[in-house]
Amino acid sequence: MRGLALLAGCGFLVAGLLVMSGTGCKRKVAKVETVETASDELSTAVNAGNPAHAIQLVNGFYDIEQGAWRWTRSKFSITLLAPKDAAQKGATLELKLSLPEVVFSRVGAVTLSAVIEGNALPPQKFEKAGDHVFQRDIPAGAFRTETATIEFSLDKFLAAGVIEGRELGIIVLNAALLAR
């Protein structure tokens, strides 16, 4: 008898759940917006440690680490809003990065190349581990729209499996297009 009562109770629970999940339920479901999808507006600068900027880190980035930075793969892209008047005056690209000792000790000096909207920028070679800035002037002609996607590539990196399962390039702290 007790087992039958338990089954009957379960039946009411299941029936209740089915009714609530059906189209007849009048309860409004609250829209939950995550931090990573909260911002639809693009910025001229991104902080790799800010989840709200993740939408601008187009590809080649891993999750935030220590609340401040992200590892990249050998190829990675960032979309930035062009500064006001960039189509007339150009802008300056600034990427703050770190070449970790764990990468440098295995591959040596690393060259970072960048292409912005089809315009190749002069590459930069980083010959020691540590913090660096990749800074390049961007001509006005590169800004045909209000946003610009910068595609970066490294000539050397750690292949997946060398020290962990991920391909490891550099660490990015932030990136910006600065008005000139």
pTM of the model: 0.77
Greatest alpha-carbon span in the chain:
84
pLDDT above 80 for 22: no
Per-residue pLDDT, 143? 95
How far is it, in rounded angstroms, from Cα 117 to Cα 67?
Answer: 30
Average pLDDT over residues 129-150: 96
pLDDT above 60 for 13: no
Say which CATH architecture domain 35-179 belongs to: Sandwich (2.60)
- 50-79: pLDDT as tens digits: 999 999 999 999 999 999 999 999 999 999
How far is it, in rounded angstroms, from Cα 63 to Cα 42?
Answer: 19
Average pLDDT over residues 115-132: 96
- 87-99: pLDDT as tens digits: 999 999 999 999 9
pLDDT above 90 for 12: no
Per-residue pLDDT, 41? 84
pLDDT above 50 for 160: yes
* Average pLDDT for the chain: 84
Per-residue pLDDT, 40? 58
- Strand pairing of 45-47 and 130-138? unpaired
Range in 34-38, 46-50, 52-56 the model is least confident about: 34-38
* CB contact set of 31 (below 8 Å; sequence gap of 6+): none
- Let me know: does 100 contact 129? Beta carbons within 8 Å: yes
Q: How confident is the model at residue 32 (pLDDT cuts 50, 70, 90)?
A: very low
By percentage, how much of the chain surpasses pLDDT 70?
78
Q: How confident is the model at residue 34 (pLDDT cuts 50, 70, 90)?
A: very low
Per-residue pLDDT, 31? 34
